[in-house]
Amino acid sequence: MKPRLFACASIAACLSIGGSSAGRLHAGAARSVLPSSASAKTLLSTTTRHREWVTVGSGSTSTPAFVVYPERADRAPVVLVTGRGESADVQSRAIGDQLAAEGFISITTEATGAAAHDAARAYAIHLPAADGRSAWLDVDFTQHHAQIATAHSGVGHFSLSTDEWPRVVEYISHATGNTFAASAQDAHGATASRMIPGLADKAPNLPAGYYSATKTLADSKLKREYVDIPIGDLKLHTWVEYPAGTGKTGVVIVMQHGVGLDDWMRSIADQIAADGFIAVAPDAWSGTGPNGGNRDSFQFDDDAMRAAARINADETQRRYKAARDWALTLPRSNGRTGSIGFCAGGGNSFRFAGEVPDLNAAVVFYGTPPGEELMKKINAPVLAFYGENDARVTATAAPTTESMKRLGKSFEPHIYPKVTHSFVYFQDLSVNREAVADAWPRVVAFYKKNLR
Amino acid sequence: MNQLRLAIALSLVVLVPVAAQERGRGGGRGVGGGLAAKSPDLPAGAFTASSTLAHTTLKHEWVEIPLAGRTLHTWIEYPDGSSPAPVVLVLSHEAGLDDWMRAVADQLALQGFIAVAPDILSGRGPGGGNFDSFRFPADAVHAMEKLSPDQALPRYMAALEYALKLPRARAKSAALGIGMGGADSFRLAAEHPGLNAAVSFYGVAPDDRVLAKITVPLAGFYGEDDPRVMPTVKAADATMKRLGKPFDVHVYPGATQAFLRSTVEGQNGAAAAMAWPAAIQFLQQHLN
C-alpha cells in the first residue's frame, strides 16, 4: 500500500497537504488546493505551517498583515495576497497558507491602497527567509477572478476555480523561479507541525493568550498605572490603562477570571485600551494576601485562589462598583461605562448590569446569569460568548435567552461549536483561536456603539 | 492494584467523567474552585504546578550533562526510598521545561520512576543561557519553534544515556513526551532502540518512515477535539496496524490538545483522570 493512501484519512489532512489530482502541474503533484469560502476557516485552524500576525509600514500606513512560512530549508520567494469580496479576509489568508504549502512565503493584508501593499511586500521580501523575488496575487472573490503581477512576467489573468488553481501556482512559480514544487517530499499527514502553530503569537487586533500575555504587557506603549482606590479601610489595587491620545472615551471595568488579576487579565485591559477605551481592572482579591497584601503578594497562584474564597459575590460587586465610581471621575472619562468579564468574572459582569442600572454595555465571556430579580433591573445590552464544549456554563445560555427576551432585555449570545471554557485564555485548545477571532471584533464594535 | 483501577476506569467510562468534573469544580465553592486543587494521583494542572514543585518531598536535583562542548541542564527527580527504579525521560511541551513540565516529572517520581527532564533549550537562551534566562514565556516558545527534531533528539539521547548510568537506575527506560515532546518521544523511539516503551500525550504522530523504524511499544493519549494532531494519529494507527506493531491509541471525546495542563476545559479533566493512570500502567508493564 502506498503511503499516500494514508494521507487522506480526513478532510483536514487532505486540505493541509493538498488533495487535488493536479496532473497538469509540470513540477509534480500539487500540494495545495484553492480554499473555498466554506473550507477557509477550517484550513486556517488546522494548518500546521508557521504563521503570524505582524504590523507593517509605519505611521499612517501602519497596518496588520498575516505571514505564512513554507516548510523548506532554503530561501523562498514571496507572494503578496490581497482580496476583495465577502469574507475576503479569511479566504485570502487561507490562500496564503496554501501558497506556503507550495513553498512561498505569503503575506496577506486587508488594507487597500498602494502604500499599504508596498509596505507589506517590502516587509516580506526583507525577511531572512526570503530570496528577494516576489509576486502579487490579487483575488476578486465576487468575480471569481485572480490577477497576478510580477516584476518580469507582466500581469497574468486567471479565473478563480479549483481546476485553474494549479495553473495559478505554476504561473507564480515560473515567474519567481520557485523550485520547491519540483523537490516535493513524500506527501503524508506527518507534514503536520510537531508544534502548536502560533502558540505565543498575538494578532494586533485580538487579545493575548496564556503564553503571549506577559510579553504583550511588557511591550505595550500605552499609558498605564496601578492605583489604589479607597473603599473605607480597604485599598482596591487596580490596573488602569488608557488609549492613545488625550480625548474622552468610555470606561470598561475588567472583571477577573478564576485565576485573579494575573498578567493575562492585565493584557486584556491592554487590548481594551488599544481598542480605544479606558480599561479599569481591579484586583478583586485586594487585601486577602499575607499581611493584608494583594494578589501579587502570594507566592503561588493556587494559594491566592484559596484565600480569595472569602471574597463573596456581594463583596465583589461592591468593589467593582467602587472602581466604576472612581473611573467616572477620571478627566478622560466620557461618562459612559461598560463591563467585561471572563469565567467567574463573566458572571460578575452579567450581575453588574443588574446592580448598576446606569451601565451602558456588558460583555460576558462564559459566565452565568444573575437571578431574575437582578435581571429585571438590567438596562444595558448584554453581549455573551459561550463555548459549546462548556456544559456547565453553556447550559445556561438557552434559559437566559428566554428570560432576557421575556423581560424585554437586549441579549446577544454567541455559542461556538467545539470550543471550550476559557477559550480566550487557552487559545491553543481545540478550535478556540477561531472563536477568539470571531468574538473579539464583536466586542469592540459593541463598545464603539454603546460607550462613545 | 493499578490494573484493577484501570479496569474500573474502563468499565465506568460514563461515570468517571462525572466524578472527575465534580472534583474539578472544587465542590462548588466560589472563586478559584478546582483550579487550585491537585489530585494526588494525577499531575498538577497549570495553576498547581509551581506550588506542587515547591512542596515536593522527593529527592531532586539539577545536573549538568556534558554534550558536545556545552552542557545540558537537566532536572532529575527520584522516587521515595533507595531501591533501583526504571528511568522515564520527560520530553517538553511547546513552552519548554517550565514549572508545569517539572511537575509532571515530580508526579512520575511519585509513582516510582526516576524522572529525567532535560532543559532542551539549554544554551539557547539570551547570552547562551538556559530556559530560565528567557524574559517571557513567549520567547521560550519561539526558541522551541526553532528547535528541529534533529537538534532535539541528540539532546534527549544524551540525557537518557546519562540517566541509565545513575546508581539507582535499573536498565529499563521509557520516553514520555507532551505536546511537541510527544512528537519527539516517538521519534526518539525510532532512533534509540534501547528504549523499552514510548508515551505521547497529544503529540503529532510521525510519518511512515519513522514508524517503520520503531521497535518498542507505543502508547498515545489524545483529545478528540484536536484537529491538528488527530489526522496524524489516525494515519499512524493505520500504519502501525499494517506493520503489526503495538500502538495503544486512547482518544478522549470532548477533550482537547493540552488536556493534561488545562484540566477544567471541555472534558479535559475526565480525560486526564483516565489517561494518566493508563499511561502509568503502560510504563509499569514495560519497565518492571
C-alpha–C-alpha distance, residues A32 and A321, integer Å:
54
The SS3 assignment for B244 reads: coil
| pLDDT tens, position by position, A88-112 | 788 999 999 999 988 999 999 988 8
Residue of B nearest to A394 (CA): B266
| pLDDT tens, position by position, B78-108 | 999 999 999 999 999 999 999 999 999 999 9
Q: Is B256 close to A420, i.e. CB distance below 8 A?
A: yes
Closest among A233, A213, A229 to A280, alpha carbons compared: A229
The pLDDT of residue A365: 98
Report the residue from B51, B257, B265 with minimal CB separation from A300.
B51
Mean pLDDT confidence for B16-44: 54
| pLDDT tens, position by position, B191-222 | 987 899 999 999 999 999 999 999 999 999 99
| pLDDT tens, position by position, A6-57 | 222 222 222 222 333 322 333 334 577 888 887 888 778 777 788 888 889 8
Q: Which three cell numbers stand for residue A175?
A: 515567474
Which residues of A fall within a CB distance of 8 Å from B32? 258-259, 302, 304-306, 308-309
Report the residue from B50, B183, B207 with minimal CB separation from A300.
B50
Between these two residues, B272 and B69, which has the higher pLDDT value? Answer: B272
E strand or H helix at A355, and its extent? helix A344-355
Find the radius of gyration of the CA atoms of chain A: 25
The pLDDT of residue A16: 29
Residue of B nearest to A48 (CA): B228
Sign of CA dihedral A308, A312, A313, A316: negative
Residue of A nearest to B240 (CA): A6
The C-alpha angle A155, A161, A166, rounded to 5 degrees, equals 65
The pLDDT of residue A191: 60
Q: Is B31 close to A308, i.e. CB distance below 8 A?
A: yes
pLDDT at B123 over 70: yes
Mean pLDDT confidence for A52-77: 85
The pLDDT of residue A184: 39
Largest Cα–Cα distance of chain B, in whole Å? 54
**Separation in Å, CA of A79 to nearest CA in chain B:** 23
The pLDDT of residue A58: 77
Residue B126, chain A, CB below 8 Å: the answer is no
Q: Which three cell numbers stand for residue B183?
A: 512528537
Which residues of B fall within a CB distance of 8 Å from A186? 207, 209
Q: Is A305 close to B35, i.e. CB distance below 8 A?
A: yes
Domains and CATH numbers, chain A: 4-191 (3.40.50.800), 213-451 (3.40.50.1820)
Which residues of A fall within a CB distance of 8 Å from B183? 194-195
Query: Hey, what's the torsion of the CAs at A326, A332, A336, A339, to 10 degrees?
Result: -60
A366-370: long-range contacts, CB 8 A cutoff, minimum separation 24? A366/A342, A366/A390, A366/A393, A366/A394, A366/A421, A366/A422, A366/A423, A367/A341, A367/A342, A367/A343, A367/A393, A368/A393, A368/A396, A369/A396, A369/A400, A369/A403
| pLDDT tens, position by position, A372-419 | 999 999 999 999 999 999 999 999 999 999 999 999 999 999 999 999
Q: How far is CA A5 from the centre of its chain?
A: 35
Q: Is A214 close to B239, i.e. CB distance below 8 A?
A: no
Mean pLDDT confidence for A291-318: 94
C-alpha–C-alpha distance, residues A356 and A331, integer Å:
21
Report the residue from A193, A199, A305 with minimal CB separation from B204.
A193
DSSP A342: E
pLDDT bin (cut points 50, 70, 90) of residue B132 is very high
The pLDDT of residue A218: 97
Pairing of strands A278-282, A249-255: parallel
Contact B78, B109 (CB under 8 A): yes
Give me the CATH code for the B2-287 domain, please: 3.40.50.1820
pLDDT at A238 over 90: yes
Mean pLDDT confidence for A357-364: 98
Residue of B nearest to A213 (CA): B138
C-alpha–C-alpha distance, residues A173 and A178, integer Å:
5
Closest among B108, B116, B103 to B277, alpha carbons compared: B108
The pLDDT of residue A30: 55
Which residues of B fall within a CB distance of 8 Å from A190? 204-208, 210, 232, 235-236
Contact A24, A169 (CB under 8 A): no
| pLDDT tens, position by position, A289-300 | 999 999 999 999
The pLDDT of residue A183: 46
Closest among B263, B194, B238 to A7, alpha carbons compared: B238
Name every residue whose Cβ is closer than 8 Å to that of residue A408 and which is 6 or more positions away in sequence: none
Contact A174, A153 (CB under 8 A): yes
Between these two residues, A26 and A426, which has the higher pLDDT value? Answer: A426
Tell me the H-state helices in B36-85: 49-55
pLDDT at B13 over 70: no
Q: Is B262 close to A214, i.e. CB distance below 8 A?
A: no
Q: Is B141 close to A389, i.e. CB distance below 8 A?
A: no
Mean pLDDT confidence for B61-66: 97
Q: How many CB pairs under 8 A join A and B?
A: 202
The pLDDT of residue B7: 34
Between these two residues, B7 and B274, which has the higher pLDDT value? Answer: B274
Name every residue whose Cβ is closer than 8 Å to that of residue B78 and which is 6 or more positions away in sequence: B58, B59, B60, B85, B109, B114, B168
Mean pLDDT confidence for A307-313: 92
The pLDDT of residue A452: 95
Pairing of strands A278-282, A234-241: antiparallel
- Number of Cβ within 10 Å of residue B3's Cβ equals 10
**Which residue shows C-alpha cell 525510532?**
B190
E strand or H helix at B61, and its extent? strand B60-67
Do you know the residue count of chain A? 452
Q: Where are the domains of chain B?
A: 2-287
Q: In Å, how far are A85, A96, A144 from A139, measured between CA atoms?
A: 9, 11, 7
Residue of A nearest to B224 (CA): A430
Do you know the residue count of chain B? 288
Contact B274, B282 (CB under 8 A): no
Q: Is B32 close to A430, i.e. CB distance below 8 A?
A: no
The pLDDT of residue A101: 86
Mean pLDDT confidence for A193-211: 93
- Number of Cβ within 10 Å of residue B61's Cβ equals 9
The pLDDT of residue B34: 61
Residue B184, chain A, CB below 8 Å: the answer is yes
Residue type, B38: K
Its ipTM equals 0.87
pLDDT bin (cut points 50, 70, 90) of residue B33 is very low
Closest among A71, A202, A61 to A120, alpha carbons compared: A61
Between these two residues, B184 and A176, which has the higher pLDDT value? Answer: B184
Q: Is A199 close to B94, i.e. CB distance below 8 A?
A: yes
The pLDDT of residue A181: 57
